[in-house]
Structure 1
Amino acid sequence: MGIEVGDHIVARLQEWGVEQVFAYPGDGIGGLVAAFGRAGRPAFVQTRHEEMAAFAATGFAKFSGRIGVCAATSGPGAIHLLNGLYDAKLDHAPVLALVGQTARGARGVGFQQEIDLQSLFKDVASEYLVEIDAPDQLPAALDRAIRVAMTRSAPAVVIVPADVQQEQFRPPEVGFGHVGSSPPGDLHEARALPPREDIAAAAELLNHCTRPAILIGQGARGAADEVFAVAERLGAGVAKALLGKDVLPDDIPFVTGSIGLLGTRPSYEMMRDCDALLIVGSNFPYTQFLPEPGTAKAVQIDADGTRIGMRYPTEVNLIGDAASTLSALTEQLSTDRDPSWRDQIEKNVASWWETVERQAMIDADPVNPMRVVWELSNRLPEGAIVTADSGSSTTWYARCLRLRHGMRGSLSGTLASMGAAVPYAIGAKFAHPDRPVIALVGDGAMQMNGLTELLTIRRYRDRWPDQRLVVCVFHNNDLNQVTWELRAMSGAPKFTDSQALPDVSYAEIASAEGLTAIAVDRPEEVGPAWGQALSAGEPVLLDVRCDPEVPPIPPHATLEQIEHTAAAVLRGDPNAWHLLVQGAKTKARELFR
């Protein structure tokens, strides 16, 4: 007796080493769901919403380096996947989405849940999108989807109509018009190396500079040792784009930290004063935080030639694998360097961390959000994975969190979608069930979708040998990032109807959902609360009431931003006086060190 198409898909996922699929069921994938039930593996991980399934798959892919898989039913289920899949597309994460569709015989007559899935997914799955019309399209279509997702670091979508899932699977015949497929196997990244003359030209440029700077992104993740070696040869400092925050540890003296609006002062100062810039695996978009064009000569290394020269005018372009290219480059770099440039960078970095600590300890009403992340930094367990959401909490993650060797961190970087941190944390736990995971989440994102995914955490916690998963909520009853953007960019006061959030106790909700919860509303409680949560050995929610008026001041606030914020205050911002006091105290701790 043969097997159904759904059974074949599940068996093929097993052959590819897929251990779980993040999904939400529906009759559009009824045959696939039944096949998961018969097989027992991969595990069917039921999230509370299809968008969360796609985010969890993206988080899994980012933290494991393997393909993340999600599944959804036809119609609304398919639509719900889009946001998480766009996150994978823009941050270059390999994700496979299995999507149901209305039965073939019912199409074209306005049947329930029939939508044009080819049009829906053609942009987000531009690297690979296929609909299975006949069983013998498999396994070639599924195999290719996985190979494309992995090699292109992109989402791929396989649409399987409901009736096809329940047909008998038949292998493709041999002959014209039929396509077979090779067995699944490991996909090893090509180690492309630029031409020797290009590497020599890059070395020549860098050897003649006196104030070199390095900018790394997530494309440098597999080349951390090589980045370190080049920085040592050049006497350079290293700044990190947001998605590259975990590439090099923050306790290296010449690592200046994040760059940009969420970045650090030493990164800003290094970019302002450098005479050469080496960009490795980064597509950082905010060019105002890079050197003024003409003041620094630039070399860029990227595996994708389409990203070369997009952000800064470069003299030498090296298209190739970051680790191999940097290794070849290092051999040609001179070590004869004036140490004064590096010495100044390290002095600036040390001073910056002292400033951050002082700013974190400023009194606020009730808790300074900077202190929440600073106290976490001092208590991060070895091997920790940190996820962050989109909002003002992202600023404190970027600036205040000091990741050490072996720690990981990520977020929805390019799409900057709210609501990714908790499903990312779930994906991280399935990727590394023996490592502690911390999610830093604003209360807006928590109300949007994070509260429901606490149920998913409770449901699957027993599958993780290390059950430590701490969700920290920055509870300020404000959509805080947008509030500050209105003030600084538009000169508009806080619009309460738009920005204020309903006040709820996240600790009480988490407790009702079956999780341990800790409520914090005094500064001196923050450190002990982190200690308690990280030593509990189980999932914990921290509900920290934070002051929304602690300003996320950029490393170099422009005159225009200052004028706009002042205008917002003068136009009747409801928290004007407190806003001014907190801003003055925060800036004073930076200026008077």
Structure 2
Amino acid sequence: MARQTSDFFVERLKAWGVKRIYGYSGDGINGVLGALQRDEGSPDAVEFVQVRHEEMAAFMAAAHAKFTGEMGVCLSTGGPGATHLITGLYDAKSDHVPVLAIAGQAEVTVRGASYQQELNLDRMFADVADYVQEVGAPAQVRHVTDRAIRVATANRGVGVVILPKDVQDMPYEEPKQAHGFTRSGPGYSAPRVVPHDADLARAAAILNEGKKVAILIGAGARGAASEVEHMAEKLGAGVAKALLGKDVLPDDLRFVTGAIGLLGTQPSSDMIQGCDTLLMIGTGFPWAEFLPADGKARAVQIDLAPEMLGLRYPVDVNLHGDAAETLRALLPLVEHKSDRDWQHGIVSNIEKWRETLKGRALADAKPVNPQRVVCEMSPRLPDDAIVTSDSGSCCNWYARDWQVKRGQRGSLSGGLASMGAAVPYAIAAKFAHSARPVVALVGDGAMQMNNMAELITIQKYWQRWADPRLVVCVFNNEDLNEVTWEQRINEGNPRFDASQSLPNVPYARFAELLGLTGIYVDDPAQLGDAWDRALAADRPVVLEVKTDPDVAPLPPHVTLEQAKGFLSSLAGGDRGGASVVMETARQIIGGVRERL
């Protein structure tokens, strides 16, 4: 039997180092699946992981890229299978990680005929992809595959290869050494990107002149942890972390202020607002209200993506370069500051904030305070644990109450902030690092949206993992909680039951039906033991906690307008539990008074 074009395609993926594909089958991509099947016995066979939905496959590919530094790969049939990929691909695009999407398509012979499942996929993917191409002939597959992977890897973005059904099954033909053909090859090595000496000198001058230096890091600083730490020590600075950079530095470093922004800490907010010099490293942190006012601070920014430079703040010196390489070149030019009053003040604020966090977590709630869920988890996590979070109010507790240890990893849908990413992220983390324990923090809205189905994926594969521990912690508050609080505080509206109420689903019992372990907690005194049991289990666990929806995910500082909005929601007859809502009102009003 002649080698089919799909066989060559799989061989080419292997030449590029692809080891795993997350996807779902369909007749439009059956040729590639057949090639994967024929290759199953080879020593470097590509593993195919069957998900419940193509969107989850794309999320897993993005998470694979985040947790390994390699390109993630996802696969779908054409038509609706391909449309399902879009959300997860935008997650990769927004967070600057490389992903290859492989999509089937109707036969070339019916293109343009409004055939079943025929969509103009190249147009559909055009915005999300750095490179997208539909293949029309076997000789085209070679350069389209090479280019899609190379562009996605180099640009840290999305590449898409669209393969019509009939092309997959055609005998493969190498491109000829002739006019009208092109012959490409695999392979890419990232360059060493470092700014010019003159620009480094200008940046060092600004940092040396600063009296109150703040550092803000994101995911782009991940490979530069030791350099960031050294820079903070020399400058007497504090370090705040954008959400995607939460795991870059451990939280027990005395000058690390924690997360910044709506989900951030008071020490981070105070430091950034009080600094006279700001050094931003590998971050696209979006919220302008948490950065200094124009002209209040001089700024230096380091980023490997030139399109992100000077985008969030009017920066004095933009340094286009790899974070670690650039910091190594910059550090010898930076003077050690002898005055440590600024940093000592930051450290003092951090110590006070930790007591505040502890007090908030231990405050009474009905029945369980959601902050306490993560507060109890944090010290129990092994040093090599990986934590994922969904979007929603659980992300607040991930950002603030999880105290990252050195060696731990964590991530979530950052720029896109999509619901439904925590469990697929956790699954990808287990496939990438099967010997490490993984925890997913998930709201009940995201569980009902799509994450419950992916528990079936966990059930299908968990016995392959070297360490079976994967804990899906569900915050069951019967409420789309983050939006509920946005309605209250930002809009001044009472909770809208029609849009916010969720049915009460027995998540732990559902896990048991699948053969997993289910643990249910509705008493805060049981939380510690529940986490111990979950982290010692011999199989994946769904830890369902009945949490109080009326514990507010407050920003680090509440504005007067937000306080007015919340009080307006109370006047409008908000249904929230009176005692907790009034405690929230006390915190909000007290916080505003402190700032007046």
Query: In structure 1, what is the Cα distance between the partners aligned to 2:337 and 2:419?
Result: 47
Q: Is the 8 A contact 1:438 1:471 kept in 2?
A: yes
* Aligned 8 A contact 1:549 1:578 in 2: no
Give how far 1:15 is off: 2.2
Whether 1:97 aligns to 2:101 is yes
Q: Which structure 1 residue ranges, 4+ long, deviate > 4 Å from structure 2?
A: 584-592
SS in 2 for 1:470: strand
SS at match of 1:298: strand
1:326 maps to which residue?
327
TM-score by length of 2: 0.97
Residue-by-residue CA offset, 1:291-314 (whole Å, 9 max, x unaligned): 122111111111122211111111
TM-score by length of 1: 0.97
Q: Structure 1 residue 440 and structure 2 residue 441: aligned?
A: yes
Aligned to 1:175: 178
The equivalent position to 2:146 in structure 1, one of 140, 143, 155, is 143
Alignment partners' CA distance in 2, 1:536 and 1:395: 27
Q: 1:93-242, aligned counterparts within 5 Å?
A: 93-125=97-129, 127-182=130-185, 184-185=186-187, 187-242=188-243
After superposing the two structures, state which structure 1 stretch, 320-329 or 6-15, moved more. Answer: 6-15
Query: Residue 481 of structure 2 aligns to which amino acid in structure 1?
Result: N
Aligned to 2:72: 68
Letter of the structure 1 residue corresponding to residue 457 of structure 2 = T
1:26-105 matches, cutoff 5 A: 26-40=26-40, 41-105=45-109
- 2:9 — aligned with what? 9
Structure 1 399/479 Cα, relative in aligned 2: closer, same or farther at 3 Å? same
**Contact 1:21-1:42 at 8 Å conserved across structures:** yes
- 8 Å CA contact 2:563–2:589 kept in 1: the answer is no
Task: Look up the SS of the partner of 1:139 in the other structure.
Answer: helix
- The reply on whether 1:407 has 2:408 as its aligned counterpart is yes
Cα deviations across residues 352-393 of structure 1 (Å, max 9, x unaligned)?
112111110111000000000111111111211111001000
Contact between 1:215 and 1:280, CA under 8 Å: does it hold in 2? yes
* Distance in 2 between residues matched to 1:515 and 1:294, nearest whole Å: 56
Give yes or no for contact 2:139–2:174 (8 Å, CA) kept in 1.
yes
Query: Higher mean Cα deviation, 83-92 or 582-591?
Result: 582-591
* Aligned-residue offset at 1:29: 0.5
Length, aligned pairs only: 589
CA contact (8 A) 1:210 1:337 kept: no
Provide the rounded CA distance (Å) in 2 between the counterparts of 1:130 and 1:114.
15
In the alignment, is the contact (CA less than 8 A) between 1:130 and 1:157 conserved in 2?
yes
Shift of 1:516: 0.7
RMSD: 1.5
1:10, distance to aligned residue in structure 2 (A): 1.5
1:254-333 matched pairs, under 5 angstroms: 254-333=255-334
Matches within 5 A, 1:419-438: 419-438=420-439
Per-residue deviation, 1:18? 1.6
**How far apart, in 2, do the equivalents of 1:433 and 1:149 lie?**
26
Moved more, 53-62 or 101-110: 101-110
* CA–CA distance in structure 2, aligned partners of residues 425 and 250 of structure 1: 22
For 1:367 and 1:552, locate their aligned partners in 2 and report how far apart those are by CA, in whole Å: 15
Q: Which amino acid aligns with 1:179?
A: T
CA distance in 2, matches of 1:174, 1:550: 68
- Matched position secondary structure for 1:311: coil
Of 448-457 and 568-577, deviating more is: 568-577
Equivalent residue letter for 2:452? L
Q: Are 2:488 and 1:487 equivalent residues in the alignment?
A: yes
For 2:3 and 2:252, the matched residues in 1 are separated by: 55
Q: Distance in 2 between matches of 1:146 and 1:586?
A: 51
The residue type paired with residue 555 of structure 1 is: P
Please state how far the C-alpha of 1:586 moved relative to its aligned partner: 5.9
Instruction: Give the distance between the partners of 1:538 and 1:589, measured in 2 at CA.
Output: 46
**Aligned match of 2:547:** 546
In the alignment, structure 1 segments of 5+ residues that lack a partner are none
Could you report, residue by residue, the CA deviation over 1:219-265 in whole angstroms, capped at 9, with x for unpaired residues?
A: 11111111111111000000011111111111111000000110000
- Output the amino acid matched with 1:504: V
Q: How far 1:576 sits from its partner (Å)? A: 5.6
* SS of structure 2 residue aligned to 1:490: coil
User: How many angstroms does 1:467 deviate by?
Assistant: 1.2
Deviation at 1:584, TM superposition (A): 5.2
Could you tell me whether the CA contact under 8 Å between 1:362 and 1:586 is conserved in 2? no
Structure 1 residue 141, shift from structure 2 partner:
1.2
**5+ unaligned residues in a row in structure 2: which ranges?**
none
8 Å contact from structure 1 (residues 355, 589) kept in 2:
no
Q: Match of 2:470?
A: 469
Partner residue in 2 for 1:19: 19
Q: Please say if residues 365 and 580 of structure 2, whose CA atoms lie closer than 8 Å, have aligned partners that are also in contact.
A: no
- Aligned identity (percent) is 53
Deviation string 1:200-237 (CA, Å, 9 cap, x unpaired) is 11111111111100001111111111111111100000
Describe the SS at the equivalent of 2:490.
helix
Q: Deviations over 1:429-462 (max 9, x none)?
A: 1111111111000000000001000000011112
Structure 1: distance between partners of 2:485 and 2:337: 46
1:385-434 CA distance string (max 9 Å, x none): 11100100011101111111111111111111100000011111111111
Q: Report the residue type matching 1:42 in the other structure.
A: V
- For 1:586 and 1:369, locate their aligned partners in 2 and report how far apart those are by CA, in whole Å: 17
Amino acid of the structure 1 residue aligned with 2:157? A
The CA deviation at 1:579 is: 4.0
CA distance in 1, matches of 2:589, 2:256: 24
User: d(CA) in 1 for partners of 2:434 and 2:151?
Assistant: 27
AA at the equivalent of 1:67: M
Partner residue, 2:395? 394
Whichever residue aligns with residue 118 of structure 2, its letter is: E
Quick one: distance in 1 between partners of 2:537 and 2:549?
29
> 1:511 corresponds to which letter in structure 2?
E
Deviation by residue 1:137-156 (Cα, 9 ceiling, x = unmatched): 12221111111111111011
Q: CA deviation at 1:176?
A: 2.2
- Separation of aligned partners in 1, 2:395 and 2:551: 14
Q: Tell me, what secondary structure is at the counterpart of 2:25? A: coil
Aligned partner letter, 1:5: T
The amino acid that maps onto 2:72 is G
Are the counterparts in 2 of residues 23 and 45 from structure 1 also a CA contact under 8 Å?
Answer: yes
Counterpart of 1:435, as a letter, is R
Q: In the superposition, relative to structure 1, how do residues 299 and 480 fare at CA in structure 2: closer, same or farther (>3 Å)?
A: same
Rounded Cα–Cα distance in structure 1 between residues aligned with 2:20 and 2:320: 35
Q: CA deviation at 1:328?
A: 1.3
Distance 2:454 2:226 in 1: 37
State the secondary structure of the residue aligned to 1:87.
helix
Query: Alpha-carbon deviation of 1:177?
Result: 2.0
Q: Report the residue type matching 2:162 in the other structure.
A: I
**1: distance between equivalents of 2:543 and 2:382?**
17
AA of the residue aligned to 2:317: V
Q: Is the 8 A contact 1:24 1:48 kept in 2?
A: yes
CA contact (8 A) 1:100 1:159 kept: yes
Verify the 8 A CA contact 1:213 1:277 in the aligned structure 2: yes
Paired letter, 1:538: R
Q: Please report how far the alpha carbon of residue 2 of structure 1 lies from its aligned counterpart in structure 2 after TM superposition.
A: 2.7
Structure 2 counterpart of 1:210, one-letter code? K
